[in-house]
């Protein structure tokens, strides 16, 4: 789609709009090899070759934010040396390269975020933001109150003690118990290792919530774009804005 040149230059990070207007009037901008000096001139960044001082201007990359219901049997990587399926194989019809935010192991299913926005992903992964992640865990047999207490207060793992967690029994039968475990850390296979540390055998592990975003009715293998509100909430922008208004 065609846009005004000064807007395209600004979006690409070449200059502010005012500076971009000056570049145009000074004859420093060309479209498909033809110098453009009219401020009302437009171009299509997908079709036209735009240069400033002879250097090509790259279109601003479209930011993409997705939620995927990862099935069991997929690797949360962009390449697997063993040739196993990877999560991006599920993103049919997507024409933008994205990467996973964090990981779910091969046998863990559920909510996985993907994006091409490195800064946003880094904010989510940084420990100081303490973004809650909720897992539903099916374990064999009954669960004792002492096991729940230990999970909730923190258990010792080989890479150090875990932070306090919120742990509740969701349902229980003669053979299995479903637990809801909410953590804000993101260590490798953390929930499985926490359960192993208190002698619980994990049968199934599913992440159902990441911060303010829930898996909802997405079927295994399905994905959808996050809404702008969800993107902002995950980055903590809404909370920061609320604090700023109260200050």
Please give the structure tokens belonging to residue 237.
């922008």
> CATH number of 62-129+216-235: 3.30.70.370, 3.30.450.60, 3.30.70.580, 3.30.56.10?
3.30.70.580
Mean pLDDT for all residues in the chain: 88
* Structural domain spans, the chain: 3-56, 62-129+216-235, 132-210
How far apart CA 66 and CA 73 sit, in angstroms, is 20
Is the fold of 3-56 the same as that of 62-129+216-235? no
C-alpha of 34 from chain center: 41
Proportion of the chain above pLDDT 90, given as a percent: 63
HSE, side-chain direction, 13 A CA sphere, residue 63: 12
Please give the structure tokens belonging to residue 50.
């735009």
- Catalytic annotation, residues: 105
Mean pLDDT for the stretch of residues 162-177? 94
Instruction: Tell me which of 26-30, 33-37, 79-83, 93-97 is least confident.
Output: 93-97
Residue 209 to residues 18, 116, 135, 243, Cα–Cα distance (Å): 43, 21, 7, 24
- pLDDT tens digits for range 37-47: 999 899 988 88
Higher pLDDT, 59 or 28: 28
Long-range CB contacts (within 8 A, 24+) of 46-50 = 46/1, 50/5, 50/8, 50/9
Cβ atoms < 10 Å from Cβ of 112: 24
Kindly report the pTM of this predicted structure. 0.73
C-alpha of 220 from chain center: 17
Proportion of the chain above pLDDT 70, given as a percent: 91
In CATH terms, the fold of domain 3-56 is 3.10.290
List, in order, residues 6 or more apart from 236 with CB less than 8 Å away: 123, 129, 131
Question: What's the pLDDT at 244?
Answer: 46
Instruction: Tell me which of 81-85, 129-133, 217-221 is least confident.
Output: 129-133
Q: What is the CATH number of domain 132-210?
A: 3.30.70.1560
Please give the structure tokens belonging to residue 31.
């479209």
């Amino acid at each position: 789609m065609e846009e005004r040149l000064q807007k395209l230059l600004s979006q690409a990070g070449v200059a502010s709009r005012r500076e971009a207007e000056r570049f145009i009037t000074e004859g420093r901008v060309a479209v498909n090899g033809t110098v453009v000096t009219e401020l009302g001139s437009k171009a299509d960044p997908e079709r036209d070759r735009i240069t400033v001082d002879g250097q090509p201007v790259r279109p601003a990359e479209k930011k993409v934010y997705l939620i995927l219901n990862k099935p069991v049997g997929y690797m949360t990587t962009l390449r697997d040396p063993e040739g196993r399926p990877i999560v991006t194989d599920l993103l049919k019809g997507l024409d933008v390269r994205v990467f996973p935010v964090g990981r779910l192991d091969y046998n863990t299913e559920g909510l996985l975020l993907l994006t091409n926005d490195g800064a946003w992903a880094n904010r989510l992964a940084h420990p100081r933001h303490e973004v809650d992640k909720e897992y539903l865990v099916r374990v064999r047999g009954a669960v004792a109150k002492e096991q729940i207490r230990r999970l909730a207060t923190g258990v010792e793992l080989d890479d150090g003690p875990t932070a306090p967690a919120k742990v509740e029994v969701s349902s229980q039968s003669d053979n299995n118990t479903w637990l809801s475990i909410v953590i804000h850390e993101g260590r490798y296979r953390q929930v499985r290792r926490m359960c192993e540390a208190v002698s619980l055998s994990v049968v199934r592990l599913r992440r159902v919530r990441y911060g303010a975003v829930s898996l909802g009715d997405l079927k295994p293998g399905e994905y959808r774009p996050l809404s702008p509100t969800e993107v902002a909430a995950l980055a903590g922008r809404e909370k920061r804005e609320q604090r700023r208004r109260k200050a």
